[in-house]
């Protein structure tokens, strides 16, 4: 019979393999090579700083060099799309911030879909800091609002790009304060610093990762933090809410995502390594000293958080009729 013939052939092949000492190769343990983390913005910005801090720890944990690759452009869309299109094997990740959740509502066309990516962890969160150049001559949020109302449309603010947390915080501030200011988007946070320091663009909302030394050295003046409570590391700086805009609350965050379809076990391994990195004293203490809190959620909690952020910012974008410049 045909089935008996096939069975005998199978036995024969098995016997031959055993007699020659053939052993099927074991599946490689993840990771067996370096992981690549894409950063949606240029070097020197908060995403880049955080990615390099975490990358060093992943290199130590896995014994394989973690590669940090900056892919700026299109408000962060280029790097996120590259990650979404990558092989779903856990070897390509992306570290975006708020723009990832906002851009599909801000741009007429975005190359990625939310379902194309899977959250590994929310790795850090914290306030933004409203800073001004000292030559602007304001010392409080109320001073700034007064000046903006006296000169509608004359003041400009810088951001690290359309859809960035810096952009959305400023737009929320404009709406809540009832002022008109002009948005000047840059390719990334690091690119706007020179113009901010010279006063060419006199104000911005910055990540504490970038603002700390500039404020400490007196080159910028911190007017407020954007969270509902004063932030550790910035205790002397009042909130926007306590300076006349009650309810104002914007919290910046940073996530690690991988392509959808990546093996669950791989995601768990990467999640665990990130959590260990964030719990290490050197990273944890450095972030907290700057006013950023290390987080380290589970993948499921990260997905739920991102879903809530998308709904929150979609409403603001639509209510304010915001579009990418």
The predicted structure's pLDDT at residue 291: 85
What is the mean predicted confidence (pLDDT) over 8-22?
50
Boundary residue ending a domain (197, 215, 243): 243
Assign 296 to helix, strand or coil.
coil
CB 84 within 8 A of CB 112: yes
Residue 322 has pLDDT above 90, yes or no: no
The predicted structure's pLDDT at residue 156: 97
The tens digit of pLDDT for each residue in 256-297 reads 999 999 999 999 999 999 999 999 999 999 999 888 999 999
Residue 3 has pLDDT above 50, yes or no: no
Residue 7 domain-assigned?
A: no
The predicted structure's pLDDT at residue 235: 92
Strands 117-127 and 92-94: unpaired
What is the mean predicted confidence (pLDDT) over 137-145?
98
Q: How far apart are CA 41 and CA 160, in angstroms?
A: 8
The predicted structure's pLDDT at residue 319: 86
Residue 280 domain-assigned?
A: yes
Boundary residue ending a domain (243, 276, 305): 243
Full-model pTM: 0.83
The predicted structure's pLDDT at residue 189: 86
**If you write DSSP's letter for every residue of 80-114 in order, what string do you get?**
HHHHHHS-SSSSEEE---HHHHHHHHHSS--S--G
Residue 31 domain-assigned?
A: no
Strands 221-225 and 129-132: antiparallel
Confidence class for position 9, pLDDT limits 50, 70, 90: very low
The predicted structure's pLDDT at residue 183: 95
Domains of the chain: total: 2
The predicted structure's pLDDT at residue 289: 86
18-32, 61-75, 228-242, 270-284: the lowest-pLDDT one: 18-32
Task: Answer yes or no: do 261 and 159 share one domain.
Answer: no
Q: How far apart are CA 113 and CA 100, in angstroms?
A: 10
Confidence class for position 144, pLDDT limits 50, 70, 90: very high
Q: CATH number of the domain that 292 lies in? A: 3.40.190.150
Residue 15 has pLDDT above 80, yes or no: no
- Residues sharing a CB contact under 8 Å with residue 100, sequence separation 6 or more, in sequence order: 40, 76, 80, 255, 257, 306
The predicted structure's pLDDT at residue 324: 81
The predicted structure's pLDDT at residue 1: 43
Cβ neighbourhood burial of 111 (10 Å; 0-12, 13-18, 19+):
middle
Peptide bond between residue 31 and the one before it cis (omega within 30 degrees of 0):
yes
Structure tokens at 127: 């306030």
Task: Answer yes or no: do 200 and 256 share one domain.
Answer: no
Boundary residue ending a domain (211, 243, 275): 243
The predicted structure's pLDDT at residue 233: 87
Which of 3-12, 130-139, 313-322 reaches the highest mean pLDDT? 130-139
> Which residues does residue 119 pair with via DSSP β-bridges, in sequence order?
257
Count Cα neighbours of 24 within 13 Å in the Cβ-side half-sphere.
3
Task: Answer yes or no: do 176 and 40 share one domain.
Answer: no
What is the mean predicted confidence (pLDDT) over 301-316?
94
Domain range for 82 is 36-125+252-319
Helix ranges (H only) for the chain are 2-19, 46-62, 77-85, 98-106, 141-150, 165-177, 189-198, 208-216, 264-279, 281-290, 299-319
Task: Answer yes or no: do 80 and 111 share one domain.
Answer: yes
Q: How far apart are CA 282 and CA 178, in angstroms?
A: 42
The predicted structure's pLDDT at residue 27: 53
């Amino acid at each position: 019979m045909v089935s008996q013939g096939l069975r005998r052939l199978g036995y024969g092949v098995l016997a031959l393999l055993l007699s020659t000492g053939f052993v099927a190769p074991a599946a490689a343990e993840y990771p067996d090579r370096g992981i690549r983390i894409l950063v949606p913005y240029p070097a020197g910005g908060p995403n880049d700083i955080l990615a390099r801090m975490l990358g060093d720890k992943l290199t130590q944990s896995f014994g394989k060099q973690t590669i940090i690759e900056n892919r700026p452009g299109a408000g962060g869309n280029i790097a996120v799309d590259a990650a979404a299109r990558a092989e779903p094997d856990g070897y390509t990740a992306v570290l975006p911030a708020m723009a990832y959740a906002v851009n599909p509502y801000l741009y007429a066309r975005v190359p990625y879909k939310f379902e194309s990516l899977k959250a590994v962890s929310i790795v850090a969160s914290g306030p933004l800091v409203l800073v001004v150049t000292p030559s602007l001559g304001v010392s409080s949020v109320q001073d700034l609002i007064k000046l903006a109302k006296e000169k509608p449309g004359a003041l400009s603010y810088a951001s690290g790009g359309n859809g960035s947390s810096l952009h959305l915080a400023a737009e929320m501030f404009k709406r809540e304060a009832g002022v008109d200011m002009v948005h000047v988007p840059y390719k990334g946070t690091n690119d706007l610093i020179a113009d901010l320091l010279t006063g060419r663009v006199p104000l911005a909302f910055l990540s504490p990762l970038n603002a700390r030394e500039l404020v400490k050295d007196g080159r910028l003046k911190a007017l407020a933090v954007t969270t509902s409570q004063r932030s550790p590391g910035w205790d002397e700086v009042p909130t926007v809410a306590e300076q006349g805009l009650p309810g104002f609350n914007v919290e910046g965050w940073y996530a690690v995502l991988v392509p959808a379809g990546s093996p669950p076990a791989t995601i768990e391994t990467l999640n665990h390594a990130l959590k260990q990195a964030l719990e290490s004293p050197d990273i944890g203490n450095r972030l907290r000293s700057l006013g950023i809190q290390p987080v380290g959620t589970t993948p499921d909690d990260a997905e739920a958080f991102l879903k809530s952020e998308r709904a929150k910012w979609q409403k603001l974008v639509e209510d304010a009729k915001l579009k990418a410049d």
